[in-house]
Structure 1
Amino acid sequence: MRYLEYKETLQRGSVGFPFAYYHITPSHPRYTMPPHWHDECELIRIQEGTFTLMVNRDIFSLHAGDTAFINSGFLHSGIPEDCRYECIVFDLDYYLKNHQYTPENLSTLLSQQKLIRTFFPASMTEFQEIFRTMVHALSRHQTGYTLITEGALYHFLGLLLRRDYLVENPGRGATHSKKFRECKTILNYIALHYTEPITLKEMAECVHMNPNYFCRFFREMTHQSPIAYLNYYRIECACEKLCMSNARVLDIALDCGFSDVNYFIKVFKKYKNMTPLQYLKQHA
């Protein structure tokens, strides 16, 4: 799962079955989930540990047995702690558009007049059973798994209607939308230019703000400072390169925008609690 792209554009599953399943453990090179979004919806199911989830500007604390639903286009990120979790990313619009009969109150999901609620605690056993069915089918790929997965999805949608769990979209106002467009613009800028020197002034100019206001804006949207996010993003990219290439640590540091290898190692230890070489040995 390439969470490092601020907006994921990967094809999920196949054209006729747009589902993808990911199992994430502490040894996974993309264990932490940086701010990103995608056009598909996503289910995040916690197996053990805790997971602090940020969705737009809301924060949720997830524990074993809890599940979160991420609506299409929503900015989200997560910080796991001693956590194992599963993600199902899928194109809900595909099923809403291609089903021969879509109830009117579900069609509001296509326009995002209404949204699916975010938090499904472990105590909501009816929903958790549906999520377990989907995970079991997608993780094992046994005969008939596509039909079982799609059946579980329709069961989920039907139960949402029965329980009246669709919610009004609070973010349809112009100001709210503008802020998220600006946030996505700067995340895109960082994703495209993280290998180069980037100053706070350059990031602020990207969204036509002065640096002081930009810092407040960025922290409001992502819960961290612009420079902290830039360093974090670069370290996540470095982790991926350490796992997927034979390049030297010095070359990876330079490729990820660090001009000083000693500073790179210092920042790496801050985020990963180990040196790049220790990380490489652990993930070899």
Structure 2
Amino acid sequence: MQKKYIFTPNPNENDIDTTLKEITEHGDSLFPIAVHFTNHQSGQKNMIHKHWHRELEILYICRGRMIVNIEETSFKVKAGDILYIPSNLLHEAMHDQESPCAFFAIVFDKSFIESRVTDHIQQSYFDPLFQNINQPAMYFHEKNAFYQDIQGSVIKIIDLFALKAPLYELSLKSNLYIFFQAVLSNTSQISGNKNIQDSKSYLNSYKCKKTLLYIEENYKSHITLEEISMHIGYSKEHFCRFFKKNFRVSFFTYLNQMRIKKAEYLLLNTHLKIIDIALETGFDDANYFTIVFKKETSLTPSDYRKRPSNVTSL
């Protein structure tokens, strides 16, 4: 009898809010874990769109290769490699020379493996690991002496989640403990991550999130470079370089793109006049709003609203 593999549907760019936080639920409150499978053919640029989430993540590459950026560090990974991504780290993946690539993402809330009552395991192992705000990502590959143990537990977790045989939850959780036992036993031997400047990386992450939160709270108003630079604590020139490096577009390009996404929602879900939508999303000139909207969507706001394929949803 052929085995039936079932994975959680993949999040996409529509599941990432304007602060780059992924808003997908991974599992539920009783079983907060999900395994996603992604298979990209050659020519795909964005393997994983830039985002962050409070859950922990184990990334397992099973075919091809790609470049994974986690905060300020890049990892060039190939089939068989494994990355452990702690909570709240911005991460994304790009193609490596247009190579096709397939990978699994195991995403779970740390509460899934933490002790409900503080005990020796929690105090000695998980608290130091999960409460370290400067904890870097970890990269595992076949040259690590303990790699076979880590790979074995990861593959077992994927198979258990996919097949969902009776009592699979117990075995899946036990294999997560095996994964962390191997990680904690051998952290001093981990290679490929020696040059991370933890304090700088954390500061950069904090500044990114502070920037995005400011945009989210103020996009309806007229935001100047002077205002946001002062809010972040940079000069205008430093802020522009910082923003372009971390978001790969200029600040005003990003701001307009976010405003247009807000406008798209209002066009499809309200009966507001186009001029009112322009004002609601931070554009004080309706003509300029139309120009920017058409540049981003290839349609005027009125044409976008009239498309028969658009379905209003909440």
Aligned pair partner of 2:208 in 162, 183, 188: 183
Aligned pair partner of 2:108 in 87, 90, 96: 90
Please give the residue correspondences for 1:114-153 in structure 2 after superposition, counting only pairs within 5 Å: 115=135, 117-122=137-142, 124-153=147-176
Contact kept, 8 Å, 1:67 with 1:122, in 2: the verdict is no
Aligned pair partner of 1:154 in 157, 173, 177: 177
Shift in Å, 1:57: 0.8
Specify whether residues 148 and 182 from structure 1 end up closer, same or farther in structure 2 by C-alpha distance, changes over 3 A only: same
The match for 2:232 is 207
Aligned pair partner of 1:38 in 50, 53, 57: 53
Aligned pair partner of 1:163 in 186, 190, 195: 186
Shift in Å, 1:233: 6.3
The match for 1:17 is 31
Contact kept, 8 Å, 1:12 with 1:89, in 2: the verdict is yes
Please give the residue correspondences for 1:210-229 in structure 2 after superposition, counting only pairs within 5 Å: 210-222=235-247, 225-227=250-252, 229=254
AA paired with 1:88? Answer: I
State the alpha-carbon separation in 1 of the partners of residues 30 and 65 from structure 2: 34
Aligned pair partner of 1:47 in 40, 62, 83: 62
Larger displacement relative to structure 2 (74-83 or 5-14): 5-14
Aligned pair partner of 1:108 in 119, 128, 132: 128
Specify whether residues 101 and 42 from structure 1 end up closer, same or farther in structure 2 by C-alpha distance, changes over 3 A only: same
Please give the residue correspondences for 1:221-240 in structure 2 after superposition, counting only pairs within 5 Å: 221-222=246-247, 225-227=250-252, 229-230=254-255
Contact kept, 8 Å, 1:114 with 1:169, in 2: the verdict is no
Shift in Å, 1:193: 6.3
Contact kept, 8 Å, 2:47 with 2:92, in 1: the verdict is no
Relative contact order: is structure 1 or structure 2 higher (C-alpha 8 Å, sep ≥ 6)? 1
Specify whether residues 73 and 149 from structure 1 end up closer, same or farther in structure 2 by C-alpha distance, changes over 3 A only: same
CA RMSD of aligned residues (A): 4.4
Aligned length in residues: 264
Specify whether residues 5 and 229 from structure 1 end up closer, same or farther in structure 2 by C-alpha distance, changes over 3 A only: closer
Unmatched runs of 5 consecutive residues or more in structure 2: 1-10, 299-303, 310-314
The match for 2:6 is none
The match for 2:86 is 71
Contact kept, 8 Å, 2:33 with 2:109, in 1: the verdict is yes
Specify whether residues 32 and 169 from structure 1 end up closer, same or farther in structure 2 by C-alpha distance, changes over 3 A only: closer
Shift in Å, 1:195: 8.2
AA paired with 1:162? Answer: S
AA paired with 1:14? Answer: D
Shift in Å, 1:109: 0.7
SS at match of 2:114: helix
Percent of paired sites with the same residue: 25
Unmatched runs of 5 consecutive residues or more in structure 1: 270-275
AA paired with 2:57? Answer: E
Q: Return the TM-score normalized by structure 1.
A: 0.69
Specify whether residues 83 and 180 from structure 1 end up closer, same or farther in structure 2 by C-alpha distance, changes over 3 A only: same
Q: Return the TM-score normalized by structure 2.
A: 0.63
Structure ID, larger Rg: 2
Specify whether residues 203 and 117 from structure 1 end up closer, same or farther in structure 2 by C-alpha distance, changes over 3 A only: closer
Contact kept, 8 Å, 1:57 with 1:220, in 2: the verdict is no
State the alpha-carbon separation in 1 of the partners of residues 134 and 201 from structure 2: 16
State the alpha-carbon separation in 1 of the partners of residues 38 and 157 from structure 2: 16
State the alpha-carbon separation in 1 of the partners of residues 239 and 174 from structure 2: 46
Contact kept, 8 Å, 2:134 with 2:198, in 1: the verdict is no
SS at match of 1:15: coil
Specify whether residues 206 and 116 from structure 1 end up closer, same or farther in structure 2 by C-alpha distance, changes over 3 A only: closer
Shift in Å, 1:20: 1.9
AA paired with 1:49? Answer: G
SS at match of 1:65: coil
Contact kept, 8 Å, 1:113 with 1:168, in 2: the verdict is no
